[in-house]
Chain A
Amino acid sequence: MARLLRAIGHWLEDRTGLWSVSRRLAAHPVPPGTDWRYVLGGATLVAFLLQVATGVALATVYVPSTGSAYQSLQFITHDAPFGRVLRGMHYFGASAMVVLIGAHMSRVFLTGSYKFPREMNWLSGAALLLLTILMAFTGQLLRWDQDGVWSAVVASEQAARIPALGHWLAHLVLGGETVSGPTLSRSFAVHVFIIPALIFAGVGLHLYLVLRTGVSERASIGPAVVDPATYRAWYRNLLDREGQPFWPDAAWRDAVVAVLVVGTVLALALIVGPKPLGKPPDPTTIIASPRPDWYFLWYFAVLAILPRGIEPSVIVLAPLLFGLAVLLLPLVANRGRRTLRHRPWAVIVVAAAVFTIAWYSRLGVQSPWSPDFDARPLTTQAIASSDSAVVAGAALFHARGCEYCHAIDGQGGSRGPDLTDVAHRLNHPQLVARILGGGNIMPAYTGKLSSTELAQLVAFLQSRRDSPK
């Protein structure tokens, strides 16, 4: 039996040569010191393959129709065997892919590995980053609950801001002039056919380039200055002298990380479960508070706090400038020193990016700019007065919507200033002027309040001195 199998093996190898080719590729030499800092790209690939496997499984049940998608997702989540864990893995797998591609890109940037002759490695990676972002976005849309529907609207509105091409792009995203049947169908095709095909091609190119140019050596053992005239010969010499076979000398670390990635995603899928489906996807249900998935929340927050005057240009220019910077980096900075000691700005850029994303993500969760639609009328303890004008003013404070944006004793929204002790800051004429005239982000209440109501509201606000508990 063993002899027969060996004979079949020999025959296959003789006719295809696949085994020897694979062995030669797997054993390509890598520089000495290829350590744990080199596992992030492989980890990203593992996350992508995880997405392919779980995505294909989900696609065998998911129905890409606006009439049935939501029901098919409920079936997957609640009834199908393994459905809940598969959706969970696909959700956390997406998060892993976004996090890991960001980490991989940061590592390559910090170690200056994008320099000569690896410029195209960086650029193909940048294309893969863009495709990953598009996957994250279309995936959120395919959930086709209320947030999914509104993310289609928000995306087309953002696309529409682009000069000249904007409306075309928006109608391409929607598959028409409004959110309708084609919106979901085409997002599905983009998410499962078009972008994955491009990612496979991009990964193929990226890996081919890694094999062709070789993994970058650690900056500490490399030449002090990357010089295109001498680098290639120096690198070839390094590999000839001290190169180690990728398989298994370096690959075992990738295997460890692959198990960690899959294990973490599986554990989160089992313990936390998939992102719950929101309300049904009815575009006419307008009592909705759309929020993007966590990886877009920071950008959602940025769009909320930009001053009105500069917002229209920032919304178009910021992504454009980021793209341009990523594109130009390896072209203008492809030589010179790689060590961090000589490139402190690289640390600053990465730290600033991480800080910005973390800071605005947190702000996005809190959404202090959103009106508090659930604000309850102020309690008697909060009002702390028996004066009839003050009590009537407190009722108006809630009824006329002041409380959506202003808090008193912790009740109410945080869009506008806390008014718990506003009487210390503003006197009677100032209060009247502010209420009637509005402000930068506050509506003017002229014509919305009778003179009695205005007097009651001001009486209430003037009673807001030392916060009564």
Chain B
Amino acid sequence: MSDTLTPRRRFLAWLSVGLGAVAAAAVGVPVVGFFFAPLMRRPVEAWRSLGPVGRFQIGETVEVRIPSAAPVPWAGEAAEMAAWLRRQGPSEFVAFSVNCTHLGCPVRWMANARLFLCPCHGGVYYEDGAVAGGPPPRALTQYPVRVEDGNVLLRTSALPLG
């Protein structure tokens, strides 16, 4: 047996590598594609009703929950998303993300102080969502909200990312 790479051997070597790559790709494409599928999915958005306008007092900020855009059937409690909703006028509403813009922790509305406070790193926001202090780099994200036929509608949204 000689070690020389005859043309026949070179061909067989490349053929083997090539065939291996074909087999790996045949398995790999669906596997990797499945794992990366969340990146290819087009965002789904839906308007969800929060109930009649009259349920909300003018000037009050309350936590509301809606089913997220396309929850999987086994999601359990994770099928819902939360937001802070404030009725500002007869038919004017504003909705804030509950996620601090620093690292996403849930901000709390402190009604007496009229501030949003974050429990993780002490971020503070004014009632209009602007940063009042602490590490948050941006104002609280606002979610689309509208009134239709006397009902308050909130649009499902992605987790706000920096």
Residues B120 and A304 in contact, CB atoms below 8 Å apart: yes
Q: Chain B residues near A86 (CB, 8 Å)? A: none
What is the CB-to-nearest-CB distance from B90 to chain A, in angstroms, rounded to a whole number?
A: 22
In the complex, chain B residues whose CB is within 8 Å of the CB of A284: 63, 65, 77, 80-82
A167 at the interface (CB under 8 A from B): yes
Q: Are A176 and B122 in contact (CB under 8 A)?
A: no
Please state if B134 and A441 are interface contacts (CB–CB under 8 Å).
Answer: yes
Are A370 and B82 within 8 A (Cβ)? no
Does B94 reach chain A (CB closer than 8 Å)?
no
When distances are taken between beta carbons in the complex, the residues of chain B under 8 Å from A409 are: none
Q: In whole angstroms, what is the CA distance A51 to B87 when docked?
A: 52
Q: Which of B15-23, B107-115, B145-153 lies on the face that meets chain A? A: B107-115
Instruction: Give the total number of A-B pairs whose CB atoms are below 8 A apart.
Output: 187
If A178-B158, A283-B81 touch, does A303 touch B121 (CB 8 Å cutoff)? yes
Q: How far, in whole Å, are A97 and B107 apart by their CA atoms in the complex?
A: 34
A311-B135, A370-B122, A373-B108 known; A153 vs B159 contact (CB < 8 Å): yes
Shortest beta-carbon distance, B93 to chain A, in Å? 18
List of B residues within 8 angstroms of A362 by Cβ: none
List the one stretch of B2-10, B34-42, B49-57 in contact with chain A: B34-42
* Dominant secondary structure at the B interface: loop
Smallest Cβ distance from A37 to chain B, in angstroms?
A: 39
Contact among B113, B114, B119, B162 for A288, CB-based, below 8 A: B119
- With A153-B99, A177-B158 already in contact, the answer to whether A443 and B115 are too (CB < 8 A) is yes
**Alpha-carbon separation in the docked complex, A357 to B47 (Å):** 46
Contact with B along A306-329 (1 / 0, CB 8 A): 101001100000000000000000
Name the one of B36, B74, B98, B132 contacting A66, with C-beta atoms under 8 angstroms: B74
Given A156-B104, A181-B72: A304 touches B41 (CB 8 Å cut-off): no
Contact string, A188-220, partner B, CB cutoff 8 A, digits 1/0?
A: 000000000000000000000000000000000
User: A161, B162: Cβ atoms under 8 Å?
Assistant: yes
Most chain A beta carbons < 10 A, residue from B74, B78, B105:
B78
Closest to A309 in B: B137
Interface residue from B69, B78, B104, B107 paired with A150 (Cβ < 8 Å): B104
Contact check, B38 vs A171: say whether CB atoms are below 8 A apart: yes
B74 touches A67 (CB 8 A): yes
Task: Determine which of B38, B74, B77, B132 lies in contact with A282 in the assembled complex, contact meaning CB atoms within 8 Å.
Answer: B77
Partner among A174, A280, A442 whose Cβ is within 8 Å of the Cβ of B159: A174
Q: Which of B66-85 contact A (CB under 8 A)?
A: 68-69, 71-72, 74-82
Bound-complex Cα distance A177 to B113 (A) = 32
Q: Which chain A residue has the least Cβ–Cβ distance from B114?
A: A448
A156-B104, A172-B36, A373-B119 given; 6 more Cβ-contact pairs under 8 Å: A154-B103, A180-B71, A181-B75, A282-B77, A288-B119, A306-B135
A-B contact pairs, 25 of them (CB 8 A): A66-B74, A66-B78, A149-B78, A153-B99, A172-B36, A175-B38, A178-B159, A180-B68, A180-B78, A181-B76, A280-B77, A286-B82, A286-B98, A286-B107, A287-B108, A288-B105, A288-B119, A303-B103, A311-B135, A369-B122, A369-B134, A401-B113, A442-B133, A443-B133, A448-B113
Chain A residues near B (Cβ < 8 Å): 65-68, 149-150, 153-154, 156-158, 160-161, 166-168, 170-172, 174-184, 186, 280-284, 286-290, 300, 303-304, 306, 308, 311-312, 369-371, 373, 399-402, 404-405, 415, 438-444, 448
B residues whose Cβ falls under 8 Å from a Cβ of A? 35-36, 38-39, 41, 43, 63, 65, 68-69, 71-72, 74-82, 98-99, 102-108, 110, 112-115, 117, 119-122, 124, 126, 132-135, 137, 158-159, 161-162
9 shortest A-B CB distances, which residue pairs? A67-B76, A401-B113, A443-B132, A177-B158, A181-B72, A286-B106, A160-B161, A284-B82, A66-B78
